[in-house]
Amino acid sequence: MRRTDAFWTRESNEYTTRNLEASREVSSAAICDILKLGGAEFKTALQIGSAGGDELAAVVERFGCTGTGIEPGAEAIAIARQRYPDLHFHQGFAQDLPFDDSSFDLVIATGVLYWVDRQHIYHAIGETLRVASKYVVVAEFAPVAPYSTPYRNAPTSETRTWKRPTRDAYLAMGHARLIAQATHFDDAGDWDRRTISLYAKVPLDEAYPLRVQPGPDGKTGPASAS
């Protein structure tokens, strides 16, 4: 296990514990509203960074789907299972999800990607698309200019959160299409600008259609690397 993984595993447990009484009404409503705005239809949902399970439970109640959550910490998982025994919770990291391709109609990553180390962020984005079959919801900080901040609950200032929107990264993947987005400013202005986005997953064969061209002998073969 990497040192950062060990920290985030511990922090997953501590974050979930200290925020059990925090209201999730606003964030839960934002997820449900963007899904309704985009006309999303789904039967199965995965939330990456599900913490105590409140947001996931709200989506399940609103849309009548099955719900699965994932967190790095075993204690966080135990808390969520106790609070919501009808939902399913697993232990793991965003950049290495323990699920098969297209396992869930909807994948939710709200307030989680900005915690992922920048060396692994593109892998984490790819994982959200890999396990989704139809949609991905991402809620994140989205300042005009990217910045990082030391994570206040970390033992050293080397552990940071990374504030940069991932929209360009999702669209650059080629098989995600933005279908709805909402932006929120609080009193801090651009410093704390946030967005919530709904992407539709585009099948790879549609996003990257196979091209063939005649080979040197005139027969049709795979297009050359050039």
CATH number at residue 85: 3.40.50.150
Q: What would the pLDDT profile of 133-170 be if each residue is shown by its tens digit?
A: 999 999 999 898 999 988 877 766 578 889 999 999 99
Q: What would the pLDDT profile of 64-104 be if each residue is shown by its tens digit?
A: 999 999 999 999 999 999 999 999 999 999 999 999 999 99
For residue 148, the cross-strand partners are: 162
Residue with the bigger pLDDT between 20 and 161: it is 161
Helices then strands (H, E): number in the chain?
7, 11
Terminal C-alpha separation, the chain? 40
The shares of helix, strand and coil residues in the chain, as percent rounded to the nearest 5, are 35, 30, 35
State how many domains the chain has. Answer: 1
- pLDDT of 3 strictly over 70: no
Res. 214 pLDDT band, cuts 50 70 90: confident
Distance CA 77, CA 71 (A): 6
Res. 20 pLDDT band, cuts 50 70 90: confident
- What number of other Cβ atoms are within 10 A of residue 200's Cβ? 17
Structure-block tokens of residue 136: 């991905």
Asked whether 196 and 30 are in contact (CB, 8 A), the reply is yes
Global confidence as pTM: 0.89
Residues in the chain: 226
- What number of other Cβ atoms are within 10 A of residue 76's Cβ? 27
- pLDDT of 1 strictly over 60: no
Give the domain extent around 133.
Answer: 3-222
